[in-house]
């Protein structure tokens, strides 16, 4: 695309962000806000349990539709290379040209640099994905469009979307409404919060783009929070405590075949005994996988050790996908479990503590299970930390310095991800 057009889209995008700031304080419909002096951008996070697995979304302003300001709910994906959502591409957009209640965006040509770049380095490459094609054209447009591969985070199936220039990011991709049948209700997009150059953070103002913080809620009835910006992040229920005072830090690592975030875990300690992790192991963070998945050799070591330290708790028949479960019913009354912590020892010596609330999942009234999953003998990456282990933990992705700050469970501080005051400014 010509450089003047790119600059035009950049200017329009910044203008849209300014509109968002105004709307945030004038419209109760939209809940994302900037905290003065515009160095902290705040999104409430919603938990969904009406799909095949728990998922989390934020609401993002898209563009004008029928002279209205629409908002779409986007699944949070810290691994996706680019954002994609419910829209159509149309080359001759003018007032009244789009179907009613449909979002239209401008197409990217297969001859544009962005098309080649996304296809070469940022599109999903998988044997199940369709091959690249330049055969698709829009009616009346003299150029070929740019189909790119996307993967449904619920089903894992690969499909194609049309790359476009829009006002969410300079580059996103459009898919038809029918693509979201597996998604939670009212969720019609995936927003990329990865380290890809086409991810959402790349299109934000410099003051907020280099720091992403995430605090997932543990309930559908409460809201978590996602921040852009370096803080502070106040917990008003504790006299405006800045949650950064709770954080430990570890380096963020990169994987050559992923735009996600990785850690170096050297061992997992359960009641003073260590399960050693091979030196070349990378641990991935995921907002799509519901439970931490481990390669079989690591998983089996955890199960053996955990079984030993909980041998006084009555066992229960395992319920898939879990391999170790416990009876939580005593004389017909449900009782809570208190089990030893797991400490993930990181490469710089700090530890991320997984306490009972993030290790034990209540499945039925009578059965609770260790919420870790066997990923198989050849699982790659060897460890993927899932969202159940994130809930009510505060995670700060310092993208400038490539570090992760983590709190362990806020519940241990008599707090939670739902306690943030989303209307507080970032001044004491």
CATH number for the domain spanning 31: value is 2.40.70
From CA 114, how far away is CA 421, in angstroms rounded? 39
Question: Quick one: pLDDT at residue 183?
Answer: 97
Q: Does residue 379 register a pLDDT over 70? A: yes
From CA 358, how far away is CA 352, in angstroms rounded? 12
Kindly state whether residues 395 and 332 are assigned to the same domain.
yes
Kindly state whether residues 369 and 269 are assigned to the same domain.
yes
Give the mean pLDDT of 299-312.
96
**Residue finishing a domain among 133, 158, 192:** 192
Kindly state whether residues 169 and 303 are assigned to the same domain.
no
Lowest mean pLDDT among 14-28, 95-109, 125-139, 411-425: 14-28
Kindly state whether residues 176 and 313 are assigned to the same domain.
no
Kindly state whether residues 116 and 54 are assigned to the same domain.
yes
> Which residue from 279, 282, 268 is spatially nearest to 370, judged by alpha carbons?
268
214: in domain? no
Question: Quick one: pLDDT at residue 17?
Answer: 43
Question: Quick one: pLDDT at residue 142?
Answer: 80
- The residues facing 55 across adjacent strands are 48
Whose tokens are 């098309």? That residue is 115
257-268 pLDDT per residue, tens:
899 999 999 999
Give residue 150's domain range. 3-77+81-192
- pTM beyond 0.85: the answer is yes
Q: How many domains are there within the chain?
A: 2
225-275 pLDDT per residue, tens:
999 988 888 876 666 788 999 999 999 999 988 999 999 999 999 999 999
Q: Could you tell me which residue, 67 or 262, shows the higher pLDDT?
A: 262
**Residue finishing a domain among 192, 207, 229:** 192
From CA 382, how far away is CA 13, in angstroms rounded? 39
From CA 104, how far away is CA 415, in angstroms rounded? 43
Q: Residue 105 — pLDDT band, cuts 50, 70, 90?
A: confident
Q: Residue 1 — pLDDT band, cuts 50, 70, 90?
A: very low
| Buried residues in 109-133 as b, exposed as e (16+ CB within 10 A) | bbebebbeebbeebbbeeeebeebe
217: in domain? no
Kindly state whether residues 282 and 376 are assigned to the same domain.
yes
> Which residue from 393, 423, 416, 389 is spatially nearest to 405, judged by alpha carbons?
393
Kindly state whether residues 51 and 118 are assigned to the same domain.
yes
- The residues facing 104 across adjacent strands are 88
226: in domain? no
225 near 42, Cβ under 8 Å?
yes
45 near 31, Cβ under 8 Å?
no
Q: Could you tell me which residue, 208 or 270, shows the higher pLDDT?
A: 270
Q: Does residue 2 register a pLDDT over 70? A: no
CATH number for the domain spanning 266: value is 2.40.70.10
**Residue finishing a domain among 136, 160, 192:** 192
Q: Does residue 345 register a pLDDT over 50? A: yes
What is the SS3 assignment for 200? helix
């Amino acid at each position: 695309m010509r450089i003047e057009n790119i600059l035009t889209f950049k200017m329009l995008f910044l203008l849209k962000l300014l509109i968002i700031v105004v709307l945030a304080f004038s419209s109760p419909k939209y809940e994302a806000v900037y905290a003065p002096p515009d160095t902290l951008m705040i999104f409430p996070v919603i938990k969904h349990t009406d799909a095949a697995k728990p998922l989390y979304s934020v609401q993002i302003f898209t563009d004008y539709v029928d002279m209205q300001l629409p908002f779409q709910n986007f699944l949070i994906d810290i691994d996706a290379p680019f954002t994609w959502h419910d829209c159509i591409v149309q080359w001759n957009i003018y007032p009244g040209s789009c179907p009613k209640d449909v979002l239209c965006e401008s197409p990217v040509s297969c001859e544009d640099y962005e098309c080649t770049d996304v296809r070469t380095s940022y599109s999903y490459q998988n044997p199940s994905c369709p091959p690249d094609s330049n055969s698709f054209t829009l009616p009346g447009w003299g150029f070929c469009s740019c189909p790119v591969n996307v993967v449904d985070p619920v089903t894992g199936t690969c499909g194609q979307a049309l790359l476009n220039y829009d006002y969410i990011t300079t580059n996103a991709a459009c898919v038809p409404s029918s693509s979201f049948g597996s998604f939670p209700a009212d969720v019609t997009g995936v927003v990329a919060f990865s380290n890809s150059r086409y991810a959402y953070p790349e299109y934000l103002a410099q003051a907020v783009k280099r720091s992403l913080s995430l605090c997932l809620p543990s309930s559908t009835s409460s809201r978590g929070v996602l921040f852009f910006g370096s803080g502070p992040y106040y917990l008003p229920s504790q006299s405006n405590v800045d949650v950064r005072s709770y954080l430990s830090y570890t380096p963020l690592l990169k994987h050559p075949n992923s735009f996600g975030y990785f850690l170096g875990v050297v061992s997992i300690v359960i009641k003073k005994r260590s399960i050693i992790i091979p030196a070349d192991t990378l641990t991935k963070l995921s907002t799509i996988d519901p439970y931490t998945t481990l390669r079989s050799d690591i998983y089996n070591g955890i199960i053996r050790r955990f079984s030993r330290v909980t041998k006084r708790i009555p066992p229960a028949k395992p319920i898939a996908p879990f391999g170790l479960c416990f009876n939580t019913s005593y004389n017909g009354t449900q009782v809570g479990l208190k089990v030893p912590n797991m400490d993930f020892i990181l490469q710089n010596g700090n530890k991320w503590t997984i306490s009972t609330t993030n290790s034990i999942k209540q499945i039925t009234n009578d059965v609770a299970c260790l919420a870790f999953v066997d990923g198989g003998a050849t699982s790659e990456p060897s460890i993927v930390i899932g969202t159940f282990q994130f809930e009510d933990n505060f995670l700060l992705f310092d993208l400038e310095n490539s570090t992760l700050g983590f709190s362990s469970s806020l519940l241990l501080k008599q707090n939670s991800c739902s306690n943030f005051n989303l209307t507080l400014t970032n001044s004491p």
